[in-house]
């Protein structure tokens, strides 16, 4: 839990310190700007985490030890290029990227009734989002630096899963296998945000934004490959299809959630 809180807390602290050192607050004038930000996102990943919980419950009765936890937040990177048309309105194009990942491993031992099976299962999950969005922004001249905006565009969501199985039984049977799944989808992505710019100089400022992103991928398609060997010899298989859960139902990968970002904004021209 401390790990999840650490990054937002540092961002907020840095924002307060930067704000206290601001020379003056000015309303953005007409001209181009570039904004780069680093932050943290809390994606929903509800279906993904529900599947992880089901797997954990199935593994628990036969595991000697296991580390099988839900996926959590991700570092969030954004870059924006835009133009301030008036002190009230600006329009930008934002590129964003975030990736959540989780490593799982479990040591298993169980009795099939005819043999004792033991071994290890390792799994790595990755869920990433690349987005391209227009960002119309409304500024508040009576409160220089304060702004509100929207995001609308497209996102490319990806979900990767890699599993290594190494199991052997007292009757001589065994399984050594690597399973790789790669899925992706392009879909609408949007959101809302509020922010504040603390000027360091007329051209440079420290920028903070907090927002909510809507980005759900319910029809990911991809490929699956399995390679390995058993007591009867090596095997290899591959195929393609939709991303599903253990029950065969479509598995939605949701990046919707809160995000908190901080960075620097550069303004190349100003006017009043």
Residue 23: pLDDT above 50? no
- Between CA 179 and CA 162 the distance in angstroms is 6
Q: Are 154 and 131 in contact (CB under 8 A)?
A: yes
For the record, the structure tokens of 258 come out as: 């809160």
- The CATH number of 2-267, from 3.50.50.60, 2.60.40.10, 3.30.110.30, 2.40.160.20, is 2.40.160.20
Q: 93 to each of 36, 119, 155, 185, how far by Cα in Å?
A: 12, 50, 13, 21
**Tokens encoding 37:** 């930000």
Across the range 155-173, mean pLDDT stands at 97
Q: Average pLDDT of 232-248?
A: 94
Length of the chain: 272
- Distances in Å between the alpha carbon of 208 and those of 10, 71, 128, 261? 12, 26, 23, 6
Whether residue 19 is predicted with pLDDT greater than 60 in this model: the reply is no
Q: What is the pTM of this model?
A: 0.86
Contact yes or no for 195/207 (Cβ under 8 A): yes
Structure tokens at 51: 């599947």
| Residue 246, pLDDT score | 87
pLDDT band at 26 (very low <50, low <70, confident <90, very high): low
Average pLDDT over residues 12-19: 41
pLDDT the model gives residue 54 = 94
Q: How far is CA 260 from CA 1, 66, 92, 97, in A?
A: 17, 32, 18, 13
Instruction: Write down the residue that tokens 């992103």 correspond to.
Output: 213
Task: Please provide the average confidence, as pLDDT, over all residues in the chain.
Answer: 90
pLDDT digits (tens, 9 = 90+) for 140-152: 999 989 999 999 9
User: How confident is the model over 81-111, as pLDDT tens digits?
Assistant: 999 999 999 999 999 999 999 999 999 999 9
CA distances from 75 to 34, 38, 39, 114 (A): 20, 7, 6, 48
């Amino acid at each position: 839990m401390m790990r999840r809180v650490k990054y937002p807390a540092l961002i907020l602290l840095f924002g307060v310190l930067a704000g206290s050192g601001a020379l003056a607050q000015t309303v953005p004038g007409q001209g181009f700007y570039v904004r780069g930000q680093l932050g943290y996102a809390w994606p929903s990943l509800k279906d993904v985490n529900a599947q992880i919980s089901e797997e954990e419950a199935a593994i628990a009765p036969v595991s000697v030890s296991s580390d099988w936890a839900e996926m959590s937040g991700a570092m969030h990177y954004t870059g924006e290029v835009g133009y301030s048309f008036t002190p009230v309105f600006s329009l930008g194009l934002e590129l964003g990227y975030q990736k959540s990942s989780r490593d799982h491993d479990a040591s298993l031992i169980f009795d099939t009734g005819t043999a004792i099976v033991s071994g290890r299962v390792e799994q790595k999950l990755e869920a990433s989002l690349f987005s391209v969005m227009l960002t119309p922004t409304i500024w508040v001249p009576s409160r220089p630096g304060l702004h509100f905006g929207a995001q609308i565009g497209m996102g490319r969501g990806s979900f990767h899963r890699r599993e290594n199985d190494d199991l052997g039984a007292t009757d001589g049977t065994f399984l050594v296998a690597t399973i790789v799944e790669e899925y992706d989808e392009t879909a609408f992505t949007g959101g809302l945000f509020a922010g504040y710019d603390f000027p360091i100089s007329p051209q440079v400022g420290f920028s903070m934004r907090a927002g909510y992103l809507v980005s759900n991928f319910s029809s990911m398609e991809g490929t699956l490959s399995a390679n390995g060997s058993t007591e009867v010899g090596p095997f290899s298989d591959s195929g393609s299809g939709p991303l599903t859960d253990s029950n065969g139902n479509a598995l939605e990968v949701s990046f919707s959630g809160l995000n908190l970002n901080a960075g620097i904004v550069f303004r190349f021209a100003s006017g009043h």
